[in-house]
Structure 1
Amino acid sequence: MSRDVEGPVGVHPSVSILYAQVWSGKPRMSIDDKGFLTSEEEKISAGKIYLGDVAESAIRSLGPHGTPEVTEESYDEQKWKLVCRSNELKIKISSESYWGFGLFAKCFLNKIILDGPLSSRARCIHEIVATLGRNPWEPIRVRAFERKTKASISAHAQSWESLISFAKDEFLEIVEEQRAKIRKLRGLGEENEYLIDNAEIYLDEALMALSDKNIPAVERALSRASNSIIQFDPSTEVYSANRELLEN
């Protein structure tokens, strides 16, 4: 897909382009002499920007990532462009006003371009929405937002919601796959049956975390469930190693 496309684009093989309403301009960040973001407390600063609640949530939702780099700034500290990378994702965020001459934080929107595997993009977007605690595609000024982005609110909603649904469906599929494994393994080793019971508990915890939109907790619970299944499964090397330890 051409990077000239304005979007919005949700589920796509390689890129997602989303627009979000900014509610808060904070935190205020400094830019070092190489163009990278630093905390505002840094004494040496080549400039400052108001990062805003959406961009802050987006960067955190990447997981482990490099230092965000500001690629464009202006006299208006809330008008800027930046890029940030994690192991799997590259995110570009731009901030610009769309109504009210940019006098207030809520006069601004963020354009988010995510490159990387669809699964990772979907989970990132799911986490952004959960962290914000609101629907970022719902603007303060609907018509002005639509004019600026050249897209309807329904198109914006679809782009975000399609990724959120993709992430949810993917997690539900993983849970069902794990439950299917558990059903096959039941009765193969009564002395270690507690491992399968634990896996069931972890899967329930994953579903509860998913309903709370807590992606990190979902991933932790699924990882624990998978580890319990691997330890119980007689066909795995982990099971064989544990068996040898018990017998020696």
Structure 2
Amino acid sequence: MAQYEVVMAADSLVGIKNLNPDSVLRLYMASNEKVAIRLFAQVWAPRPMMGVDDDNIVRTTVRPNAKRKIILGDVAQAFLRAFGPSDPPKLVGDLGFDEQKWEITAFAFETELSIISRPYWGFGVFTKCFLNEIRLTGKREIIDRTVYDSLSFLGRNPWEPVWTRRFERNIGMGVEEQAEIWKNSQLRAETVMREILREVISISGGTGGPDFHGCAVDLEMARVALDDRNSHAFERAISRVSGLLNIKADDPWGELGGNDGSEVVDLTKD
């Protein structure tokens, strides 16, 4: 049986690399490639309201030491959720009278997330007068995964504005050009996961292999999760399959082998 390595990226994406030198298939590997992208999004919903303490840490308003408040909005909430475990987001600079005009930053896995909320029409009278400028700097795979999950959480196209002409004038590019940046990141993340699924099926011996039938239900669940753009459900399904295939952990690598009692790699952990 050929040997394989299970590669865990910091954002919980999983890659599998065939160690056979004759193999032409090279799947996603956690790399040190650093990139920076800038996205712009139309804000639709004003919730949630967040508190800011004396150290400019952004927290839930239930905290007793929250001295000021900001309106986070649906876009920023989606990105912070997609960014995963990180240092608490911090407010940059001082707050003015407008609770929806702010800049926050967060850092995790050698990747920085910066979000600026500002009005682009109507003097910021309504929530839909605001856009968010999102800057991500760091590892390519983490950035792509963050964008992918943010789009899934939002369930809409955030690059589609209420007022197209004003939006384009403010961001300095056309809506279609901006949409391509979002879609390219989303596509790269999805491609990685589909390649993982194909390779795991191959490891199981293909659809007619001896190991496939025991994994068939979870492999189908992984496929459906990808079709639904649910990366977390995909990871859980792949985690169960990896256990059935006896992918064992040998930190930082796992190796596909026989059932020798080695610890199973848990891909659901942060």
TM-score tier after normalising by the smaller chain length: 0.7 to 0.9
Normalized per residue, the structure richer in helix is: 1
SS in 2 for 1:151: coil
Match of 1:8 in 2: none
| Letter in structure 2 aligned against 1:39 | T
Aligned to 1:228: 244
1:101-122 CA distance string (max 9 Å, x none): 1000010000111122212211
| 1:38 matched residue in structure 2 | 59
Q: From 38, 49, 57, give the equivalent of 1:17.
A: 38
State which of 59, 70, 74 in structure 1 corresponds to 2:80: 59
Deviation digits for residues 8-28 of structure 1 (CA, Å, limit 9, x no counterpart): xxxx95122111100012111
For 1:155, which of 174, 177, 184 is the aligned residue? 177
Deviation beyond 4 Å, 4+ runs, structure 1 = 184-187, 235-238
Whether the 8 Å CA contact 1:130–1:214 is kept in 2: the answer is yes
Which amino acid is the alignment partner of residue 239 of structure 2? S
Partner of 1:206: 222
> Which of 1 and 2 has greater Rg?
1
Number of residue equivalences: 223
In terms of fraction of residues, the more strand-rich structure is 2
1:89 — aligned with what? 111
Letter matched to residue 203 of structure 1: L
Alpha-carbon distance in structure 2 between the residues aligned to 1:239 and 1:231: 9
**Partners of 2:139 and 2:214 in 1: how far apart?**
31
Tell me the C-alpha RMSD between the 2 structures: 2.2
Deviation at 1:54, TM superposition (A): 0.4
* In structure 1, C-alpha distance between the alignment counterparts of 2:90 and 2:83, rounded to whole Å: 15
Structure-2 change in CA distance of 1:201 and 1:38 (3 Å): same
List gaps (5 residues or longer) in structure 2: 1-32, 249-254, 263-270
Bigger mean CA offset, 177-186 vs 125-134 = 177-186
2:201–2:212 contact (8 Å) kept in structure 1 = no
How far has the Cα of 1:167 moved from its partner?
A: 1.0
Residue 155 (structure 1) shift: 0.6
User: Taking CA–CA contacts closer than 8 Å with sequence separation of 6 or more, which of the two structures ends up with the larger relative contact order?
Assistant: 2
**Equivalent residue letter for 1:49:** I
Q: How does 1:1-248 map to 2 (within 5 A)?
A: 13-72=34-93, 73-183=95-205, 193=210, 196-230=212-246, 236=256, 239-241=259-261
**SS of alignment partner, residue 245 of structure 2:** helix
| Residue identity (%) | 34
- Structure 1 length normalisation: TM-score? 0.83
Shift of 1:185: 11
Contact 1:88 1:120 (8 Å CA) reproduced? no
Cα deviations across residues 144-197 of structure 1 (Å, max 9, x unaligned)?
Answer: 00000001011111010111111111111111111111227976xxxxx5x542
Structure 2 length-normalised TM: 0.76
The alpha-carbon distance between structure 1 residues 238 and 49, as it changes in their structure 2 partners (threshold 3 A), is farther
Give the direction of change, closer, same or farther, for the CA distance of 1:136–1:152 in structure 2 (3 Å limit): same
Gaps of 5+ in 1: 1-11, 188-192, 243-248
